[in-house]
């Protein structure tokens, strides 16, 4: 299938509309069915993790070693996101290595804190490196109506909205049976599902455009 810019915009629109339709559907379910859909290790979360791993494999296969060497964060972050969806960061400890309490509390040994700190630091450095290398290109792409920039915007927006809802729903103290809380719970998990889908679409267009142009461009 030819991935034209117009077709990609339609695909992003269909994705966003589909996510909101899925949120609306989740809100119509009774509690048991909604939990089966949205709970830890439910089919939405499992699908999110699987899609992150699919994205990782796709980028690694299409980009090969040269792409990994040039843009390691674009290869590694889908893998890390998939591991996070499966709560890998706390599989071997009671506390996530991304929480302050992991380092300040007495539960973990200093060796575990050092290892956790080094892993977290490495991930942070990768993220900062990615931002430094691409933020100007991203903003310029939005001004120039670049499809890849639009795809990155959709991807970032879904990730940020999911994270914001995750943090906000409990901080704001909504009752768990309230419609607002149910919406927030559904939105968090379903926007997290849309996140890797948007990444896969954007990488697919990137590699397709690069193959069409026959160059190793960054756009």
Give me the pLDDT at residue 73, please.
95
Q: Map tokens 């919406």 to a residue.
A: 183
Q: Is the dihedral of CA 165, 171, 174, 177 positive or negative?
A: positive
Give me the pLDDT at residue 211, please.
86
Question: Would residue 120 count as lying in a domain?
Answer: no
Give me the pLDDT at residue 216, please.
46
Domain around 59: 5-70+134-212
Question: Would residue 44 count as lying in a domain?
Answer: yes
Question: Would residue 18 count as lying in a domain?
Answer: yes
Cα separation, 96 vs 108, whole angstroms: 11
Backbone dihedral angles phi then psi of residue 106, each to the nearest 5 degrees: -85, -5
The residues, any chain, with a CB within 8 Å of residue 60's CB and separated by 6 or more, are: 68, 75
Question: Would residue 88 count as lying in a domain?
Answer: no
Question: Would residue 99 count as lying in a domain?
Answer: no
Q: Which of 92, 62, 94, 66 lies closest to 78, judged by CA?
A: 62
CA atoms within 13 A of residue 200's CA, in its CB half-sphere: 19
Q: Give pLDDT < 70 ranges for the chain.
A: 1, 89-98, 101-102, 110, 173-176, 214-219
Give me the pLDDT at residue 189, please.
94
Question: Would residue 90 count as lying in a domain?
Answer: no
Give me the pLDDT at residue 93, please.
62
Question: Would residue 43 count as lying in a domain?
Answer: yes
What tens digit of pLDDT does each residue of 179-188 get? Answer: 888 899 999 9
Strands (E), 38-184: none
Structural domains counted in the chain: 1
Question: Would residue 86 count as lying in a domain?
Answer: no
Give me the pLDDT at residue 27, please.
92
């Amino acid at each position: 299938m030819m991935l034209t810019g117009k077709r990609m915009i339609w695909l992003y629109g269909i994705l966003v509309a589909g996510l909101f339709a899925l949120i609306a559907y989740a809100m119509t379910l009774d509690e048991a069915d909604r939990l089966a859909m949205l709970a830890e290790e439910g089919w939405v979360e499992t699908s999110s993790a699987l899609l992150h791993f699919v994205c990782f494999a796709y980028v690694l296969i299409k980009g090969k070693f040269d792409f990994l060497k040039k843009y390691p964060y674009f290869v590694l972050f889908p893998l890390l996101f998939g591991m996070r969806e499966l709560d890998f960061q706390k599989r071997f400890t009671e506390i996530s290595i991304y929480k302050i309490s992991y380092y300040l509390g007495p539960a973990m040994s200093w060796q575990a804190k050092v290892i956790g700190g080094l892993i977290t630091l490495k991930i942070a450095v990768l993220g900062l490196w990615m931002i430094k290398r691409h933020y100007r290109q991203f903003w310029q792409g939005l001004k120039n109506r670049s499809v890849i920039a639009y795809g990155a915007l959709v991807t970032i927006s879904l990730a940020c909205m999911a994270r914001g809802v995750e943090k906000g729903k409990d901080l704001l103290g909504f009752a768990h049976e309230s419609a607002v809380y149910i919406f927030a719970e559904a939105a968090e998990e379903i926007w997290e599902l849309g996140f890797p889908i948007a990444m896969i679409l954007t990488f697919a267009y990137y590699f397709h455009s690069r193959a069409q142009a026959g160059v190793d461009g960054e756009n």
